[in-house]
A and B are shown apart, each in its own frame.
Chain A
Amino acid sequence: MSDLSTQKPVSSWSMVGKDPYSMPIEEIDLAHPGIWQKNEYLPFLKRLREEAPVHYCAKSATGPYWSVMKYRDIMEVDTSPDIYSSEPTISIVDSFEEFTLPSFIAMDPPKHDHQRRAVQGVVAPLNLKKLESVIRERAAKILDGLPVGVEFDWVEKVSIELTTQMLATLFDFPFEDRNKLTYWSDITTAIPGGGIVDTHEERWEALQDCLATFTKLWNDRINGEPGNDLISMLAHGDATKNMPPMEYLGNLLLLIVGGNDTTRNSITGGVLALNQFPEEYEKLRGDLALIPNMVSEIIRWQTPLAYMRRSVKIDTVLNGQHLKKGDKVVMWYASGNQDETVIDDPERLIIDRPNARRHLSFGFGLHRCMGNRLAEMQLRVMWEEIMTRFDKIEVKSEPKRIYSSFVKGYSELRVTLHSKL
Chain B
Amino acid sequence: MVQILFKSHSGEEQWVDGETGSSLMQAAVSNGVAGIDADCGGSCSCATCHVFVDDPWLDRLESIDPNEDAMLGLSPDRCENSRLSCQVQITEELDGLVVSTPEFQF
Contact = CB atoms under 8 A, between A and B. Distances in A.
Contact of A120 (B38, B45, B67, B74): B74
B41 A355 contact: yes
A295 to B, nearest CB: 13
Which size bracket describes the interface of A in this complex?
20 to 34
Interface string A327-371: 000000000000000000000000000010110001011101000
Nearest to B103: A125
A194 interface: no
Interface in B54-93: 67, 70-71, 73-74, 76-77
A117 B45 contact: no
A124 interface: yes
Contacts of B40: 75, 358, 364
Contacts of A117: 73, 76
* Residue from B37, B44, B45 with most neighbouring chain A CB atoms (10 Å): B45
Contacts of A366: 70-71, 74
Nearest to A360: B40
Contacts of B106: 120, 124-125, 373
Of residues A125, A355, A373, which shows the largest number of chain B Cβ atoms within 10 Å of its Cβ?
A125
- Range of interface residues on B (Cβ < 8 Å): 20 to 34
Contact of A364 (B45, B67, B104): B45
A79 B74 CA distance: 14
Interface string B25-57: 000000000000111110111110000000000
Contact of B77 (A79, A125, A128, A368): A125
Contacts of A373: 104, 106
30 contacts: A75-B40, A75-B43, A75-B45, A79-B43, A79-B45, A113-B70, A113-B73, A116-B74, A120-B74, A120-B76, A120-B106, A121-B76, A124-B76, A124-B77, A125-B104, A128-B104, A355-B41, A357-B37, A357-B38, A357-B39, A358-B39, A358-B40, A362-B39, A364-B45, A364-B46, A366-B70, A368-B45, A368-B47, A368-B74, A373-B104
